[in-house]
Structure 1
Amino acid sequence: MKLALFDDHRLGVVSADGRAVVDVTDALPWPHDPDPLTAGWWRALCRDFRTLAPALAAAAEQGAPRAVTDVALRAPVLGPTKVVAAASNYGKHVAEMHGVQERTLGRVEAWMMEFDVFLKAPSSIVGPGADIVLPADVVEAGHEVHHESELVIVIGSGGKDIPVASAMEHVLGFTAGLDITVRSAADRSRRKSYDSFSPLGPWIATTDEVGDGSGLDIGLTCGAAVRQSVNTRDLLVPVPQIVAYASTIMTLNPGDVLFTGAPPGVGPIAAGEELEMSISGIGAMTVQVR
């Protein structure tokens, strides 16, 4: 199933071809709260999706489809308690970062070449079609701002100390995300947490659609130029292990978001550019840089 949030943060089920959406909000067993800051219904949906899925599927069959182009798609998550991001999770990206750090920092930080997780501010999340806004202080300082196109996990039931073998039972599904990053000597979380630095979309493909997230093609283009192209089979630490590892550090709550790591091909973005990101089995989104 593909789940979208649209218009006044309504819940929709997206057709298999990604062209239509059916509003299934009224099939939920609780009132709809359109305020994204208090929308506990969304986290409850993430937690209870397996129980609610039959009713949502029936509502999607019976409802009137609307063209996706006729609705305003929102970020496909609401009020996550945290955004967790994996670092150094593609071998070729780790290799390219030596050159990036030499150019932008004048040195290589060896500890940053090891897999680990860090936090981004949930307030950095925006939806498909939103603008990435380059911060004035960053531009004035002459720092590069880079794109990092990533597979993103959305947590379902969540938990603490989740075993690898059962990790996927705690996952709702996946979406596409851009982890926008300032290249400077500042802390990772600061450099990646500016408003608009976590575009997500266009919707969530649940695990019944895309399994454990392995074998998916990720692509990022700018105009006619291919910026990034990779398959998630190249992840050094695959999705179940990311979920299990993160849960040993912090409790993963329903609706939390986990970026799985930047593929190779990261590079600067500039005002006026248009970035299109796609992940096979999920969908595509386009964002503007200003």
Structure 2
Amino acid sequence: MKLALFDAPEGTARLGVVTTSAQGATVTDVTAALPWPHDPDPVTAGWWRALCRDFPGVRSALEDAAAAGPARPVEEVALRAPVLGPSKIVATASNYGEHVAEMHGVQQRTLGRVESWMMEFDVFLKAPSSIVGPGADVVLPPDVVAAGHEVHHESELVVVIGAGGRDIPEERAMDHVLGFTAGLDITVRSAADRSRRKSYDSFSPLGPWIATTDEIGDGADLDIRLTCGGDVRQSVNTADMLTPVPRIVAYASSVMTLLPGDVLFTGAPPGVGAIRAGEKLEMSISRIGSMTVGVV
């Protein structure tokens, strides 16, 4: 199943089921099928976290509502980021071998040295306030631009946590995942703290929707592609991950409790590079979908 969040006329987030075909994508509003009150406030968003936690129990009701309700072309709705109020964004570092190799040159150019500790697999945090939806703009911070720092794109497979938990065994990790979406981990290349460099507002575009694990499995064979102006900047298959999704989830949960609705970036593939005002970034992940964001 593909789950989208989109704006109703009054600006509140609605839940939709997306159907894709050769003719395009449609979305059906299934909000009324939820067994909880629909809290329109994205700050509280209790209904969304309940959906992430209890999706297996409400899935059939959503399927029935999607089959019965009117479908609209996706182009007619304003898609939001397909998450609401996550307690945290957990991001994965150094998870593709070719990216680790390229970062030696990137760091030598931007820092004048190589930080060897950054070449090791680990997790860190980004601010949830950095999340924006498909079609939004990435805003280059004026102070960063004035200082002459490069700002880079990193296109990544993103996990949305379902049931969550602490010390989740790797063999059961996917039981704790709702699904996957596409994400851009926008990054300032400077000597500042990693979390700070990646947490500016608009630095975590997500979209266009979530493909649940029944469609995607454990995310181990998906094509990620990023283009700009027709030029391919990143192209990789998630099979090249050094640490697969179940192991990432298990490791992250050994450090911190993963809560329903939390977001987990799985690491940047090779091909990272600078973005500039006026560009359009087109990102796609096979079996999930695509999104376009501007740079201003």
**Shorter-chain TM-score tier:** over 0.9
User: Partners of 1:223 and 1:93 in 2: how far apart?
Assistant: 22
**1:224 Cα deviation from its structure 2 partner:** 1.3
**TM-score if structure 1 supplies the norm length?**
0.99
Cα distance in 2 for partners of 1:73, 1:258 equals: 20
1:141 aligns with 2:150: no
| Cα distance between partner residues in 2 of 1:96 and 1:252 | 31
The separation in 2 between residues aligned to 1:161 and 1:25, in whole angstroms, is 33
1:46 equivalent to 2:52? Answer yes
Q: 2:209 aligns with which of 188, 203, 224?
A: 203
The match for 1:113 is 119
Please give the alpha-carbon distance, in whole angstroms, between the structure 2 residues aligned to 1:161 and 1:122: 23
In 2, the alpha carbon distance for the partners of 1:9 and 1:280 equals 26
Structure 1 residue 228, shift from structure 2 partner: 0.2
Provide the TM-score with structure 2 as the length reference. Answer: 0.97
- Match status 1:151 vs 2:150: no
- Secondary structure in 2 matching 1:287: strand
2:274 counterpart of 1:268: yes
Q: Distance in 1 between matches of 2:229 and 2:51?
A: 37
Root-mean-square deviation (CA), in Å?
A: 0.5
Question: Paired residue for 2:192?
Answer: 186
Provide the C-alpha distance between the structure 1 equivalents of 2:135 and 2:232, rounded to a whole number of angstroms: 19
Structure 1 residues 17-96: aligned runs within 5 Å: 17=21, 19-96=25-102
- Counterpart of 1:15 (choices 19, 23, 33) is 19
**Residue 165 of structure 1 corresponds to which residue in structure 2?**
171
Q: Pick from 194, 215, 218: which aligns with 2:221?
A: 215
Please point out which of 114, 126, 129 is paired with 2:132: 126
Distance 1:285 1:33 in 2: 27
> How many pairs align?
290
Identical aligned residues as a percent: 79
Structure 1 residue aligned with 2:3: 3
33-42 or 240-249: bigger deviation? 33-42
2:248 to 242, 259, 263: 242
Unaligned runs of 5+ in 1: none
Q: Shift of residue 32 of structure 1?
A: 1.0
Aligned partners of 1:122, 1:259: CA distance in 2, in Å? 12
Letter of the 2:203 partner, please give it.
F
Q: Residue 37 of structure 1: CA displacement?
A: 0.5
CA distance in 1, matches of 2:107, 2:149: 12
Instruction: Say which SS state the counterpart of residue 19 (structure 1) adopts.
Output: strand
**What whole-Å deviation, never above 9, does each CA across 1:49-87 have from its counterpart, x for those lacking one?**
000000000000000001100000000000000000000
Q: Using the TM superposition, give the Cα deviation of residue 35 of structure 1 relative to its aligned residue in structure 2, in angstroms.
A: 1.3
Alignment partner of 1:229 is 2:232: no
Q: Does 1:97 align with 2:97?
A: no
Q: Give me the whole-angstrom Cα distance separating, in 2, the residues matched to 1:12 and 1:41.
A: 14
Q: CA deviation at 1:16?
A: 2.9
CA offsets, 1:155-209, max 9 Å, x none? 0000000000000000000000000000000000000000000000000000001
Instruction: Give the unaligned 5+ runs of structure 2.
Output: none
